[in-house]
Amino acid sequence: MILPRSLVTIFIALAAAACGGDSGTEPQPQTTLAISSGDAQSGPAGQALASPVVVRVTRDGAALAGASVSWTVQSGGGAVSQATSPTGADGLASTTWTLGPDAGANTLQAAASGANGSPVTFTATGELTTPPPTTASVNVGDFFFDPTATTIALGGQVTWTWSGSAQHNVTFASGSNSATQAAGTFSRTFATAGTFAYQCTLHPGSMQGTITVE
């Protein structure tokens, strides 16, 4: 069947109009994930970082609430307080990151399904800390303590040794004290954390010291 030329022209015009209608389609919203804060921290290995790690999710530039963000430790052997957290009204989601037990680099990824930029990667550095000693010594000289400041572990013991010729003592505001003596030693065990000041009551102007218990 051969259609009249006038009908063919109409069909072509209708098809062109239908195709042209596609140009008016609304663009799809764009969701984006980005790091907000908490990247590139450092802290003691095996402990939580001082600041949480935070990401921000936006839709067309505006904060997106209720988006689900997943957190995955990539290296270092650490852990997070929440494996998944939702964004708030400000578009922010966060978790607390505990570093692995060894010194060195740690990495953590945050992901939001379908978001541009996802996943993002946080880095952190674990640092080994030296624990305080369990024993310490202080020299009691003539009119001085050496050292004047000592740090010791909780439950540790400090020993004072007299090396001068004059009489001196080691006296705290509370707890055990030494006798007034010119020779010998005195030891005290510290079962409570804190800073404890002491002096020689015979020479308080020149003989003072502190013990810090951690």
Task: Report the pLDDT value the prediction gives residue 129, as an integer from 0 to 100.
Answer: 86
Half-sphere exposure of 151 (CA within 13 A, CB side): 4
Which pTM was predicted? 0.59
In-domain check, residue 17: no
- Would the pLDDT of 9 be above 80? no
Task: Report the pLDDT value the prediction gives residue 93, as an integer from 0 to 100.
Answer: 98
Q: How many domains does the chain have?
A: 2
Give the whole-angstrom CA distance, residue 104 versus residue 93. Answer: 26
Q: Please give the torsion angle defined by the CA atoms of residues 148, 149, 155 and 159, in that order, rounded to the nearest 10 degrees.
A: -20
* Predicted confidence (pLDDT) per residue in 106-134, tens digit: 999 999 999 999 999 999 999 998 889 99
Q: Provide the CATH number for the domain around residue 208.
A: 2.60.40.420
Question: Range of 111's domain?
Answer: 31-127
Question: Within this chain, do residues 42 and 76 fall inside the same structural domain, yes or no?
Answer: yes
In-domain check, residue 140: yes
Question: Within this chain, do residues 143 and 119 fall inside the same structural domain, yes or no?
Answer: no
Per the structure block, which two tokens stand in for 108?
């953590």
